[in-house]
Structures are given as C-alpha cells and as structure tokens.
Amino acid sequence: MIGARVFCITTSIFFFPRILTRPVSRLQPATTRSVVAMSTTTSKSQEELDSIFKQKKIVRSTVRKSLKGMDPSLRLQQDDAIQNTVLEAPWFKSCRGLCAYISCKSLNEVDTSKILSKILQQPDPNTMAEKKLYVPWVEDKNSNMRMLHISHMDDLIANSMNILEPAPVDAQGNEREDVLQAEEPVDLFILPGLAFDRCGRRLGRGGGYYDTFLKRYQDRAKEKGWSNPLKVALSYSPQILEDGSIPVTPNDVLIDALVTPSGVVPISPRAIERSLCLEMRLRSLCLLALEGCILD
C-alpha cells in the first residue's frame, strides 16, 4: 500500500479554499480494491484489471460529455483563474526546472499558454526564478513519451494530431536535452488529465504516457538521489469527481496537489507541509507588520 500518499482533503487547509463544485455525476464508487492505490508488487488478476479498465472507460465518457458541454465563457474564466493561481503560487515562482504540458483545445484541456509564455519570457529576478522548461514529445504509440527542453514558443510544431510539440532536434540540428538525461533535477510537474479527486487520483485519457513517464522520472531521481518533483494537476470544475469515483491500477501515479478555479488543493503530506510552512511564514509577516504599526 502506498499509504501516506493516499491522504484525502475534505476541508479547507488554512487559506486554500474548499472546492464548492458539484461532481460531474454520482458515479457508482469503485470497489475498495480498485479505489485504493496499490504498490506495483501487488498482483491482480486479469479479470480484476479488465473490470477496472471498464470502469475507467465509463468515467472517461461521462467527463468528456461534461467538458464538451461547458459554456465557452465559463471555460475562459476558469482558464484564467487556474493559470493566475499557478503563476502566483510560491512553488511555481521558486522552481528552477519544470515539466509542463502544452494544452490542446480539441482535447478540452486547461489552457497553459499563459504559463508557458511567462516561463519563456525573461523573468524579473526579484519576483520569479529563471526556469528551464521541458515539454512533451510523444515517441511512439507504446506509451513512450519524452520531455524535451525548449527556449521559445517557436520551438513547437504541430504533429499529425495537430498537437504542438517540440521537434527532437533544434534549428541548428542539435538534439534537444531530454529531462531523463539531464544532470540537474526539476522541481515541478504541471500535469493534464481527464478527471481527478481530492485524494490524488488522476484519470488520464487511456494512453498511459504520463504514468509511464512519471515512473521513469521517479527511478531517475532515486538513482541520482534527488527529491521527487511536486506533481500538480490542472482541472476545470466538471473534472473533479467524488472521492472513490476514479478506479486505479498499480500503474497509476497519484498527484500531490490540484489547481482548480477555486484555488489550490494540497493533497499529499508533502504538499500539505508546504502549505503549512507558507501559512506560518505569512502569519509571521502579518505579526511583524502589526508590530510595526503598533510601534508607529
């Protein structure tokens, strides 16, 4: 059992708002075995896995319909709110290296264009650390995906599915740096998904690309003695489901935090610890300011 990673948030954590949004639907909860994240050493019969895959298919269909029916103006509002939250988050401002997805409108993904543009601009060193950005490049149809370094939005080209991604080589013919071969760690993953819950479960689109990549990076970090990056997913309101509605397999990787139109939901103990540290820091600043007012 992963144990500590499955840490459900059902109430507000200090200044992090509770999400006041109705789930897409009251889907039948998956069985206990399906819902709880298990270690890769746990054996499951093919019959059990087939049942989980069927449940996932049903959830995907439901969420896709909800996303397709979203009012365009509401989508724009939520895109703006989510991206502003990320850009103002201390864990984003302080990170030196990150992997982030390039949003695809046809897939109804939360927009990341504002975030990517901000990263690739020359940041103000007084407000934001300079960042090294890696973005996805799909290698094949067998769940193999690489994260390649880019320096400009012009480094991106449309693939056969009209999704922007970097060419494996740059304009000078040099191979782009692969984050799995980099000698410096990244601090943050900004992840897409189709559905999420407040216990850290993430439902992708069925290709297995992100879960495969995340496991490979975990192995790389362990080999190098690095801390694992904070895994943060972006979600529209209709993508947030009731806890227990998303079935999981041993290959599914849990997220640490969720950014929604209402704010940040810290999920893992690591993300909660960061939020507590920030809260204490803010309290200290408020006390210092108050003391200054009293002295004046």
CB 200 within 8 A of CB 268: yes
Instruction: Please name every residue paired with 99 in a beta bridge, in sequence order, or none if there are none.
Output: 134, 189
pLDDT at 164 over 80: yes
What are φ and ψ of residue 270, in 5° steps? -65, -45
Average pLDDT of the chain is: 83
Q: Residue 62 belongs to what H/E stretch?
A: helix 46-68
Position 161 scores a pLDDT of 78
State how far the alpha carbon of 178 is from the alpha carbons of 29, 39, 115, in Å: 39, 27, 21
Of 256, 261, 257, 203, residue with least CA distance to 21: 261
Q: Please give the residue that has the higher pLDDT: either 16 or 54.
A: 54
Position 38 scores a pLDDT of 42
Q: Measured between alpha carbons, how far is 256 from 267 in angstroms, rounded to an integer?
A: 5
Using CB atoms within 10 Å of the CB of residue 75, give its burial: 0 to 12 exposed, 13 to 18 middle, 19+ buried: middle
Which of 130-134, 195-199, 231-235, 287-291 bottoms out in mean pLDDT, i.e. has the lowest?
287-291
* Confidence (pTM): 0.80
User: Band of the pLDDT at 11, cuts 50, 70, 90?
Assistant: very low
Q: Measured between alpha carbons, how far is 34 from 49 in angstroms, rounded to an integer?
A: 9
Within 13 Å of residue 165, how many CA atoms lie on the same side as its CB?
16
Give residue-wise pLDDT tens across range 82-93: 999 999 999 999
What is the mean pLDDT of the segment spanning 112-123? 89
Of 45, 175, 191, residue with least CA distance to 115: 191
- Give the homologous superfamily in CATH for domain 52-268: NagB/RpiA/CoA transferase-like (3.40.50.10420)
Position 273 scores a pLDDT of 84
Position 162 scores a pLDDT of 82
User: Band of the pLDDT at 285, cuts 50, 70, 90?
Assistant: low
Token readout for 75 is: 């989508």
pLDDT at 52 over 60: yes
